[in-house]
């Protein structure tokens, strides 16, 4: 699953006929001023400026400015872009026309094992949780689409008493279902969907959307990257491993943790957390989170190995795991061995100690092969399933 930013979600809405306000996403305040010369709505509308990052509580942090003219919007953008919030840095803002409106509604759709569920309420906005009893829902089985009549009936039950408004909301909901189905979405939330009754204009003012990132090969027009929810943008190395992960059977994962001295190259999600906890509990500091699982190809494990070997200031590498059921230890260790050799040849791993503990199919062959790295000048210590998993952490921390 990958969360996408509001601007990307609005681009999807435009594509599928869901009304949105006029908007632009900019990384340079000067570009906003230039766009103002070319776009009448920027010059003549009241504007909203929001930090276009995955940061919660933007309004309270002063990262949402309302009712601005173009000059004020440029200045607000200048104040926001480059500002640091914790470990995150604001790199872009979304500037949209501020729509006066009479009512705020709530519309969302989310997948489940049996299909999806669509939710509607006539009481949207910041108080939706206080009005959750007004939410009406309809189950959408796999490969089925509810009729406009069924959606209009749902809107009426959700408190849309005006028949025309109920029908318009039903049409928007039907387009949201199309967007969900065709864009490999996993969930979409519009809050609020607003209406200006003087001209019956609807607009989705804010959106949260998650898509299946592994399905992007089906979408050549996806020109965005997934949003990092770890307090900072993804690094180039993290993005490269994510790209590999999306193309293989099995899985490889990698997240950098700046300042750590112990690199982790662990098998399986459970073992990766187990080893990370063990390092920290013994007073160490991890340099990354990483895992490989589900019998990934050796070239993917090699790429993961080379990536973590390039982490700065590491003193130890933990190559750990439990006893695998079906992941071939010999095959995956082939990738690790190649990655270690390539890294050493490129000037990495000087003074780094490598600690190995693993069990599973073909473990004897795999452990024997990686042990031979000693003869090539590696400071490596290899153990089989007969020692407890975290003993290699104790050994590393006590050197």
| Backbone torsions φ then ψ of 388, nearest 5 degrees | -55, 150
By CB atoms closer than 10 A (0-12, 13-18, 19+), residue 110 is middle
Is residue 328's pLDDT more than 70?
yes
Cα dihedral 155, 156, 161, 164 in deg (nearest 10)? 60
User: Residues 60-77: pLDDT tens digits?
Assistant: 889 999 999 999 999 999
Over residues 101-108, the mean pLDDT reads: 96
Which pLDDT score is estimated for 87?
A: 66
What average pLDDT does the chain have? Answer: 92
What pLDDT shows up at residue 249? 87
CATH 3.30.470.20 is held by the domain 103-213: yes
Alpha helices in the chain (DSSP H): 6-15, 29-38, 40-44, 70-80, 148-157, 163-182, 236-246, 269-281, 298-309, 329-345, 363-371, 391-397
Predicted confidence (pLDDT) per residue in 239-275, tens digit: 899 889 988 888 999 999 989 999 999 998 888 899 9
Residue 234 is given by DSSP the state P
| SS3 assignment, position 106 | strand
Around 275, how many Cα atoms within 13 Å sit in the side-chain half-sphere?
A: 35
- Would you state the pLDDT for residue 337? 96
> What does the pLDDT read at residue 231?
63
Q: Which of 60, 100, 97, 52 is nearest to 77 (CA)?
A: 52
Q: Tell me the whole-structure pTM to 2 decimals.
A: 0.73
- Whole-number pLDDT of residue 331: 87
Rounded Cα distance between 58 and 64, Å, is 6
Architecture per CATH, 22-97: 2-Layer Sandwich (3.30)
- Specify the higher pLDDT residue, 314 or 127: 314
DSSP string, 181-230: HHTTEEEEEEEEEEEETTTTEEEE--EEEEE-GGGGGG-TT----PPP-S
Query: Do β-strands 93-97 and 136-141 pair in parallel, antiparallel, or remain unpaired?
Result: unpaired
- Residue whose tokens read 């990655």: 339
Out of 87-96, 175-184, 378-387, least confident range: 87-96
For the chain, domain boundaries = 22-97, 103-213, 236-398
> What is the CATH number assigned to the segment(s) 236-398?
3.40.50.261
pLDDT at 269: 81
């Amino acid at each position: 699953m990958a969360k996408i930013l509001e601007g990307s979600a609005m681009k999807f809405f435009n594509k599928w006929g869901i009304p949105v306000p006029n908007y632009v996403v900019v990384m340079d305040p000067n570009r906003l001023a230039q766009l103002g010369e070319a776009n009448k709505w920027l010059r003549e509308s009241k504007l909203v400026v929001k930090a276009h990052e995955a940061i919660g509580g933007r309004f309270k942090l002063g990262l949402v400015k309302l009712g601005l003219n173009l000059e004020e919007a440029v200045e607000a953008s200048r104040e926001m872009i480059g500002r640091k919030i914790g470990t995150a840095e604001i790199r872009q803002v979304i500037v949209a026309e501020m729509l006066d409106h009479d009512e705020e509604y709530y519309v969302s759709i989310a997948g489940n094992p049996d299909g999806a569920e669509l939710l509607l309420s006539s009481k949207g906005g910041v108080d939706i949780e206080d009005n959750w009893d007004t939410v009406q829902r309809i189950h959408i089985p796999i490969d089925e689409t509810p009729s406009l009549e069924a959606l209009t009936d749902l809107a009426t039950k959700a408190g849309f008493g005006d028949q025309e408004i109920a029908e318009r909301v039903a049409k928007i909901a039907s387009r949201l279902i199309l967007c969900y189905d065709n864009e490999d979405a996993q969930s979409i939330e519009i809050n609020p969907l607003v209406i200006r009754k003087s001209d019956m204009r609807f607009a989705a003012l804010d959106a949260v959307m998650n898509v299946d990132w592994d399905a992007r090969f089906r979408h050549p027009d996806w020109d965005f990257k997934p949003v990092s929810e770890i307090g900072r943008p993804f690094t180039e190395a993290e993005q490269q491993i994510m790209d590999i992960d999306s193309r293989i059977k099995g899985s490889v994962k990698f997240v950098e943790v700046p300042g750590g001295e112990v690199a982790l190259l662990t098998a399986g999600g459970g073992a990766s957390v187990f080893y990370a906890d063990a390092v920290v509990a013994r007073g160490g500091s991890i340099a990354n989170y990483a895992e490989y699982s589900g019998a990934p190809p050796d070239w993917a494990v090699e790429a993961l190995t080379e990536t973590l070997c390039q982490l700065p200031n590491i003193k130890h590498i933990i190559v750990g795991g439990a006893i695998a059921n079906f992941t071939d230890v010999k095959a995956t260790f082939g990738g690790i061995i190649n990655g270690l050799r390539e890294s050493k040849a490129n000037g990495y791993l000087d003074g780094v100690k490598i600690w190995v503990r693993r069990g599973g199919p073909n473990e004897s062959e795999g452990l024997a092969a990686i042990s031979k790295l000693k003869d090539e000048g590696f400071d490596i210590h290899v153990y089989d399933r007969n020692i407890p998993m975290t003993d290699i952490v104790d050994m590393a921390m006590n050197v």
